[in-house]
Amino acid sequence: MGQYYVIANMDKMEYLHPHRYDNGMKLMEWSYKNNYLVNTLLNLLKNKWKGDRVYVIGDYADLTIYGKNDLQWHSTLEKLVSEFGVYDGDYENHPHTYSIFTIIVETFKHIGKVKTRAEKTNARYLYNHAKKQVVDLEDCKADKWGYTIAPISLLLAMGNDRGGGDFHEGCAGFEHVGEWVSTSASIEVTEKPLAGCEDYEKFVPGFSED
């Protein structure tokens, strides 16, 4: 089965839905450079969503452990389950269990334009102040088909490698999926290098499906 994703701001209780940007909901249907949904996410992180807990959450993201990426985001999801009062995974004792994904799409406010084709961004640098890392988007290279994977959506992904359309094990950079989930509130997106961050590690996730 395919896994579907939304982009959620857990502090402002807002979310973005891929369908509103003419995308499918699977992670690798839209996680590419200059995709309108990715550009919207970068612009929000640069401005309105700066300093907030922002995640790319799949509908298979729960507290069971399926694979190698899960421990990147498992502890964060535990905190969200407690915070939002979600009975997550215990279907026998709680037959009306709601997942974090369901809570988001049923109770959060959807923001963003309907089927926009106008969203552009000047974002180039992704700083993670907690990890003291910086991603230069110019370092992200196109694959043999000419597509460049946008690292931000994979670094913030929860639930990856549990369904069709995910970024699967065996792909380059797989080990980095979800790596920034626990520190998403420390991300800063800029157009130019930040003064005082010259000692940050230059991080190149190298995501590719080649």
**CA–CA gap between residue 13 and residue 5 (Å, rounded):** 16
Q: For residue range 72-86, what is the model confidence (pLDDT) as tens digits?
A: 999 999 999 889 877
Give a yes or no: residue 207 inside a domain. no
- Please give the tally of structural domains in the chain: 1
What local confidence, expressed as pLDDT, does residue 93 receive?
60
Assigned domain for 196 exists: no
pLDDT score of 95 more than 50: no
Domain assignment present for residue 193? The answer is no
Residues 28-37 have pLDDT tens digits of 999 999 999 9
Indicate whether 166 belongs to any domain.
yes
Q: Could you tell me if residue 203 is inside a domain?
A: no
The whole-angstrom separation of Cα 157 and Cα 145 is 23
Q: Which residues constitute the domain of residue 45?
A: 5-122+147-186
The model's pTM is 0.93
- 198 in any annotated domain: no
Q: What is the pLDDT of residues 135-172, one digit of tens each?
A: 999 999 998 889 999 999 999 999 999 999 999 999 99
In the structure, what pLDDT confidence band is assigned to residue 66 with cuts at 50, 70 and 90? confident
**For residue 137, is it within any domain?**
no
Segment 97-146, tens digit of pLDDT: 568 999 999 999 999 765 555 689 999 999 999 999 999 999 999 988 89
Residue 69 counted as domain residue? yes
